A and B are shown apart, each in its own frame.
Chain A
């Protein structure tokens, strides 16, 4: 993710102040997510539901 895109996403998330005061930290945070999403093998079966399933009523 290049810096221009990171800046755009950070501003969209409302992190203008962090971008001004802690730019390195914002860039480091963005880099973390880039590497972690690449390691995820999303299910290929479209019927696999996310956990937790919606449950009516109170609690589990």
Chain B
């Protein structure tokens, strides 16, 4: 059934409950066709069955989640819905505060750190009726992973548990793809929402810088940090963003832009859209695996067939974007971690220790030079987006590598095109572009103008509908 512009489509409950979309589950609960307790139990059963293989959780809060589902059920029965996510489970990356639970950042350094209040984004999800299932694995402090020398094991990829799920929001990506929960919060400083979305074949959005409050989220790099929704469908992603976006006067980076109704234009299709294809990222800057390149061409041609006007766009090189991102990230992260690295370096895993100490060897001149170059890069992308409505480019240059091969992890870590949009703050969405010959997700990224997330959802939804990527689930369980 199609809905007109601005209307929300009504979905039918079909298939196993653990693969219901957020939208379908919420609508069914609101219509009293689905019990929040039944839905939560289905997810807890799935978690019990699969999480021992996937390690998506650092802390499962099953008892509280089930109790909250009971309350949600009573409220729904009485006709009192808290909001558009009433009774729907959500997982939270463990660098984001949830009152009463640990925020460990997957590190021994903060093993005993318990949050006293919810982060703003968590509070907004709860006000909309979502139920927190637990805290999710991350790369240590959102930078050092996947690591086997930490108090908790790294998350694994549900498409093949021998492979990396991407990071740093690794538990979020793994759990959403595997059906442990239908939505999760991730954070993205150099691509950490979009990398696991790419590796696990789900939808991950890094919103415009400042659109989602960072208050209550442990910082990695103040001017690069973003909080973003991770879901299995584009519509769910837009719904989640509608819930968590909005100005926060107590977050100094918060933008004064209103949050929008991001689903309103989602079904308008690709006809007439001007799409700028940034081919040099994956053709010459960092040549992608042939299957990745072919998948990107397929996405571009599909959109063209649907009526999009496809154009080539040139931006600064990926190598330079990456350098600017790393200088800023490592300088700002050093300012956060210097005291602990001086006093207790042995409490960090090896990867985080190496990456975080790098900031000690950068000077103020490096940091200011990178931020001056950043101004030019922002102007370059704004100029490109004056010519087109949306950019299309690679996300990852390779499918997910094996998790037990540190050399492959190191090699592929920087082979990506996500950092440019942390540097410039433009919204960027990564999603599945297809499957590799070995059955691993391939990915594509769409990038929009500041605060024009609605355009990203429109083009992403057009690709999703044409390709059916939202119907593909990992062959696990």
Residues of A that sit less than 8 Å from B by CB: 1, 6, 9-10, 13-18, 21-22, 25-26, 28-30, 32-34, 36-37, 39-43, 48-52, 58-60
Contacts and interface: CB of A to CB of B under 8 A. Distances in A.
A24 B159 CA distance: 35
Contact of B254 (A10, A30, A33, A60): A60
A56 B244 CA distance: 27
B360 A29 contact: yes
Given A14-B342, A29-B360, A59 B252 contact: yes
Interface string B359-382: 111100010111111111010000
B353 A25 contact: yes
A21 B345 CA distance: 8
Interface stretch (B84-92, B192-200, B324-332, B463-471): B324-332
| The 7 nearest A-B residue pairs measured at CB | A50-B371, A39-B323, A29-B357, A13-B360, A18-B345, A42-B369, A33-B361
Contact of A33 (B319, B322, B343, B362): B362
A41 B320 contact: yes
A25 B357 contact: yes
A2 to B, nearest CB: 13
B153 interface: no
Interface residues of B, number: 46
14 contacts: A10-B360, A14-B338, A15-B345, A18-B342, A22-B346, A33-B327, A33-B361, A40-B369, A50-B368, A51-B223, A52-B371, A58-B252, A59-B249, A60-B256
B354 A25 contact: yes
B358 interface: yes
A1 B358 CA distance: 13
A28 B352 CA distance: 12
A19 to B, nearest CB: 9
B354 A17 contact: no
Contacts of B254: 59-60
B253 interface: yes
Nearest to A37: B366
Contact of B372 (A30, A39, A50): A50
Contacts of B343: 17
A10 B357 CA distance: 9
A55 B324 CA distance: 22
Nearest to B317: A39
B338 A13 contact: yes
Contacts of B210: 60
B355 interface: yes
A49 B368 CA distance: 9
Interface of B: 210, 223, 247, 249, 251-256, 319-320, 322-324, 326-327, 330, 338, 341-343, 345-346, 350, 353-362, 366, 368-376, 378
B280 to A, nearest CB: 16
A6 B361 CA distance: 8
A49 to B, nearest CB: 6
Given A22-B345, A59-B252, A40 B373 contact: yes
Contact of A52 (B223, B341, B353, B358): B223
Given A15-B357, A42-B369, A60-B256, 16 more contacts: A13-B338, A22-B346, A26-B357, A29-B358, A30-B361, A33-B330, A34-B361, A40-B320, A40-B324, A40-B366, A41-B320, A41-B373, A50-B371, A59-B253, A59-B254, A59-B256
Nearest to A1: B361
Contacts of B255: 59-60
Given A42-B369, A48-B375, A50-B374, A36 B327 contact: yes
Nearest to A40: B323
Contacts of B362: 33, 37
Given A17-B343, A48-B376, A51-B371, A39 B319 contact: yes
A50 B323 CA distance: 16
A31 B341 CA distance: 18
A40 B331 CA distance: 15
A7 to B, nearest CB: 11
A17 B320 contact: no
Nearest to B375: A51
A18 B354 contact: no
A32 B331 CA distance: 13
Contacts of B369: 40, 42-43
B373 A49 contact: no
A60 B253 contact: yes
A17 B375 CA distance: 38
Nearest to A53: B375
Contacts of A13: 338, 342, 360-361
Given A25-B357, A51-B374, A37 B323 contact: yes
B371 A18 contact: no
Given A14-B338, A25-B353, A36 B375 contact: no
